[in-house]
Amino acid sequence: MKKIKIYCMICMVALSAAVCLGAPIASAQKPPQTQPSSHGFFVVLLGTGMPRPDPTRQGPSLAIVANGKAYIVDAGTGVVRQAAAAYARGIPALQANRLDIAFLTHLHSDHTLGLPDLILTPWVMHRTVPLQLYGPVGTQAMVDNIESAYAEDIDLRIHGLEHNSATGHKVVVHEIQPGVIYQDENVKVTAFAVKHGSWKEALGYRFDSNGKSIVLSGDTRPTESVIEACNGCDVLVHEVYSGTSRDAADVAYFASFHTSATQLGEIAAKAKPKLLVISHYVPLSNTNQTQMVQKIHKKYAGPVVVANDLDVIAP
């Protein structure tokens, strides 16, 4: 079996399925020779945070890169700047003006606060084609509202002295249902329904490329569809929370909307990913990362990585 490669974009070292302990992202360094660049299939964790404004983690978003093309999933805060950071470190697919296809798991604000950024900044940086945007029902309405909010900016940039393209700010929205929702020469993308509290529709995605698979849970409580979608996949990126709260409302919220570390261990034991990657980790008051991973390992014996922003993982 080919070994899964994990790279810390901050430490610039290949990891052996461990926690990447990085310095602040401002310390741009020359990429190592072994880093995945324009070819292959890998995931770049652009933002691994959650709603809390942790200054060391941007909002949830990642890029799947296949054969030199980037497919963005979710648009948390900082999405385009994080892509620019990855571009600066040697991933050409993440150049701002090349970001033209994205997938939303659901419409919670932490996953969409960067959507105006993803629509407008690549265009300001001379993207001339519309953004192709796949997401649940409600995506079109959100995009319509963003376009309306920025109508004067768009008009000024097209008709003023900037002479921006009249097409690159546009968005072609595809409101999707579970199933194979996208395919090109690089990837096949399959959406599956997950259970995220009272959201009518929330999605996970499976990306297949050249016989390798990367599965993204999105935000979800323990859901059988994640197990089915992974089913021995190469990489499963899953959300998690750990610890407990004294607030009964908090306990009820997390049980309905998210997956505890113990539950994730059970999910991973059934899904059997070759590597489990934690992103969107919510620590409640009385816990830490080590305890969270220990809880996962009670049921799941495979490797676990707690991702940091700008980590790169290649199946």
Shortest reach from residue 143's CB to Zn ion, in Å: 19
In the chain, the amino acid numbered 248 is A
110 binds Zn ion (CB under 5 A): yes
Tokens linked to 96: 């701002």
Q: Is 110 a catalytic residue?
A: yes
Shortest reach from residue 196's CB to Zn ion, in Å: 6
Q: Which of 100, 117, 201, 219 binds Zn ion (CB under 5 A)?
A: 219
Identify which range of 34-42, 217-225, 270-278, 281-289 contacts Zn ion by CB under 5 A: 217-225
Q: Which of 5, 57, 69, 108 binds Zn ion (CB under 5 A)?
A: 108
201 binds Zn ion (CB under 5 A): no
Shortest reach from residue 114's CB to Zn ion, in Å: 13
208 binds Zn ion (CB under 5 A): no
Tokens linked to 303: 């490797």
Phi, psi torsion values for 5, nearest 5 degrees: -105, 135
When computed from its CA atoms, the radius of gyration of the chain, rounded to whole angstroms, is 19
d(C-alpha 4, C-alpha 293), whole Å: 19
Nearer to Zn ion, 219 or 234 (CB): 219
Helix (H, G, I), strand (E, B) or coil at 256: helix
Tokens linked to 20: 């990447």
Identify which range of 68-76, 100-108, 141-149, 183-191 contacts Zn ion by CB under 5 A: 100-108
Shortest reach from residue 159's CB to Zn ion, in Å: 38
d(C-alpha 88, C-alpha 134), whole Å: 27
Shortest reach from residue 51's CB to Zn ion, in Å: 7
d(C-alpha 303, C-alpha 199), whole Å: 31
Q: Which residue has the tokens 């950071």?
A: 85
Nearer to Zn ion, 5 or 108 (CB): 108
Phi, psi torsion values for 90, nearest 5 degrees: 110, 20
Q: Interaction with Zn ion in 122-141: which residues (CB under 5 A)?
A: none
Tokens linked to 282: 């919510």
Nearer to Zn ion, 48 or 209 (CB): 48
SS (H, E, C) 196-219: CCCCCCCEEEEEEECCEEEEECCC
Identify which range of 108-116, 158-166, 167-175, 246-254 contacts Zn ion by CB under 5 A: 108-116
Residues that contact Zn ion, how many (by CB under 5 A): 3
Nearer to Zn ion, 29 or 256 (CB): 256
Exposed/middle/buried for residue 132 (C-beta within 10 Å: 0-12, 13-18, 19+): middle
Strands (E), the chain: 5-8, 13-15, 41-47, 61-66, 69-73, 101-103, 131-135, 171-175, 179-183, 188-193, 203-209, 212-216, 235-242, 275-283, 304-306, 312-314
Shortest reach from residue 70's CB to Zn ion, in Å: 21
- Catalytic: which of 54, 74, 100, 110? 110
Nearer to Zn ion, 219 or 311 (CB): 219
Identify which range of 120-128, 151-159, 219-227, 302-310 contacts Zn ion by CB under 5 A: 219-227
The site for Zn ion (CB under 5 A) is made up of: 108, 110, 219
Q: Provide the annotated active-site residues.
A: 110
